[in-house]
């Protein structure tokens, strides 16, 4: 399941990035060649950037590529390092779970109030759903990392 989620994350990131690039390029061409631009391009690009950032955070977690300062932690014993890492992953899981929960609440509110986007007048919940979707992927990745850290043996850490 972990590999499947990783592939889904990578595909979502690739599609969002390609679509953002093509849309932005087409808008620049339209602006300079035809002196007119697509009114919706900035709005869609912004929403896709949110999706890309959230799913990209999940992909970075999967690869353990989030920034960290380990100069002090590296001086500690394996057990203490493992406990600190597990605690950090647990906190990240709890934070992303809260983001998921409140993202769902936000989407429900957008649906209930009939909110629409400023430019395209599309239902806001369509793009608002990117927040709980991305938070779900982040939470799952940090949960996997937490479980990996808790079940790690000392021989694996050296």
What's the pLDDT at 74?
Answer: 84
Q: Tell me the mean pLDDT in the region 80-100.
A: 95
Chain centroid offset of residue 58 CA: 5
Q: Tell me the mean pLDDT in the region 79-88.
A: 92
Instruction: Give 94-141 pLDDT, tens digit per residue.
Output: 999 999 999 999 999 999 999 999 889 999 999 999 999 999 999 999
pLDDT band at 155, cuts 50/70/90?
Answer: low
Q: Among residues 68, 98, 96, 99, which one has the least CA distance to residue 84?
A: 68
């Amino acid at each position: 399941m972990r590999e499947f989620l990783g592939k889904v994350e990578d595909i979502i990131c690739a599609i969002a990035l390609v679509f953002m690039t093509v849309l932005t390029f087409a808008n620049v061409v339209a602006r300079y060649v035809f002196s007119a631009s697509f009114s919706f391009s900035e709005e869609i690009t912004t929403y896709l950037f949110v999706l890309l950032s959230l799913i990209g955070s999940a992909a970075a977690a999967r690869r353990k590529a989030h920034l960290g300062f380990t100069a002090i932690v590296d001086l500690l014993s394996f057990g203490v390092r493992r406990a600190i890492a597990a605690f950090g992953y647990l906190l990240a899981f709890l934070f992303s779970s809260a983001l998921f929960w409140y993202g769902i609440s936000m989407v429900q509110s957008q649906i209930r109030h009939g909110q629409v986007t400023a430019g395209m007048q599309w239902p806001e919940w369509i793009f608002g759903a990117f927040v709980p979707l991305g938070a779900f992927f982040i939470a799952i990745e940090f949960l996997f990392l937490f479980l990996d850290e808790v079940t790690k043996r000392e021989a694996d850490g050296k």
